[in-house]
């Protein structure tokens, strides 16, 4: 076996990035931010001097596994992304499209906009602005190996299952309890089959994993820690700013 073929086999086994693993990121940023409040949507609210969504896009822009980025935005914010691309030098954004009525509708529109070369699709919440390029790569690597993988965090809290009246019914084994995050990365053909099966059956999922679970395909969990939060409230924004400031300080110390 030639060296080139051996290298290809090793990449496949380890789940490493490969030029043939064309990966499209679909960033869902079409929410109305009702719980967040304020005059601006959370994705356009300033965080450390720039709109929150910029931090999310930047992480995917800097991840070597990602080949293109599709933004699914609020209709009245679509034009704003031209300015953000120019201002921040984003090169991977291939399309900015208006979202649908629900998040599931919006992601489906993003799916329809991916490049024909797309082999994998990485679906992300625009409001998860603390995700890092390394974490995105870890989830992508797992998906390259298992066809489906998701960012998540293994619960450290004791989880109670309640009955319909709000009383404890049982206690879950926290070793098996994970809190789902994004990105959620799937082989594009697999996710397309899952998404259109859900559409045909009228199945609604609270995340994209559920659509793939619905067609009985296993999904690999990838530990991404507690910091990969989804900004939902103003308090979340305070936490996000503190963490981003700390990361910036750590980088400046390393550069000295």
Residue 9 within a domain = no
Quick one: which of 123, 60, 53 has its CA closest to 92? 60
For residue 183, say if its preceding peptide bond is cis, omega within 30 degrees of 0: yes
Residue 13 within a domain = no
Quick one: which of 176, 174, 169 has its CA closest to 159? 174
Residue 12 within a domain = no
Q: Write out the residue range of the structural domain in which residue 96 sits.
A: 19-255
Residue 230 within a domain = yes
> pTM for the complete prediction?
0.90
CA distance 22 to 223: 23
Residue 224 within a domain = yes
Give the chain's length: 256
Could you read off the pLDDT of 41-61 as tens digits, one per residue?
999 999 999 999 999 999 999
Question: Percent of the chain scored above 90 by pLDDT?
Answer: 85
> Which three-class secondary structure state does DSSP give residue 102?
coil
The total number of structural domains in the chain stands at 1
In CATH, what number is assigned to the domain containing residue 95? 3.90.550.10
Residue 2 within a domain = no
pLDDT at 17: 58
pLDDT at 10: 45
Residue 209 within a domain = yes
Low-confidence ranges of the chain (pLDDT < 50): 1, 3-4, 6-10, 12-13
Residue 5 within a domain = no
Distances (CA, A) of 197 to 99, 192, 202, 205, 246: 20, 8, 8, 12, 44
pLDDT at 19: 64
Strand 120-125 to strand 178-187: parallel, antiparallel, or no bridges (unpaired)?
antiparallel
- Rounded to 5°, angle at Cα 140 from 186 and 135: 130
CA distance 27 to 165: 37
Could you read off the pLDDT of 95-119 as tens digits, one per residue?
999 999 999 999 999 999 999 999 9
Quick one: which of 12, 45, 55 has its CA closest to 145? 12
pLDDT at 40: 85
């Amino acid at each position: 076996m030639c060296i080139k073929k051996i290298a290809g086999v090793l990449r496949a086994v380890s789940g490493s990035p490969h030029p043939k693993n064309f990966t499209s990121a679909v960033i869902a940023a079409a929410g109305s931010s009702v719980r967040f409040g304020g005059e601006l949507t959370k994705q356009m609210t300033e965080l450390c001097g720039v709109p929150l969504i910029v931090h999310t896009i930047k992480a995917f822009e800097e991840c070597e596994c990602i080949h293109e980025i599709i933004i699914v935005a609020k209709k009245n914010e679509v034009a704003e992304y031209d300015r953000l691309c120019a201002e921040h030098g984003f090169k991977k954004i291939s399309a900015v499209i208006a979202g649908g009525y629900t998040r599931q509708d919006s992601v489906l529109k993003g799916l329809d906009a991916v490049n024909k070369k797309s082999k994998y699709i990485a679906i992300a919440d625009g409001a998860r602005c603390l995700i890092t390029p390394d974490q995105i790569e870890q989830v992508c690597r797992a998906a390259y190996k298992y066809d489906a993988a998701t960012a998540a965090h293994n619960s450290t809290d004791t989880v109670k299952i309640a009955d319909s009246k709000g009383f404890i019914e049982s206690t879950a084994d926290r070793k098996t309890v994970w809190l789902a995050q994004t990105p959620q990365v799937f082989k594009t053909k697999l996710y397309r089959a899952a998404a259109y099966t859900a559409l045909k059956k009228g199945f609604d999922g609270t995340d994209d994993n559920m659509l793939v679970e619905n067609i009985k395909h296993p999904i690999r969990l990838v530990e991404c820690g507690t910091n990969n939060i989804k900004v939902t409230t103003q308090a979340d924004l305070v936490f996000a700013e503190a963490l981003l400031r700390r990361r910036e300080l750590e980088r400046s110390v390393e550069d000295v």
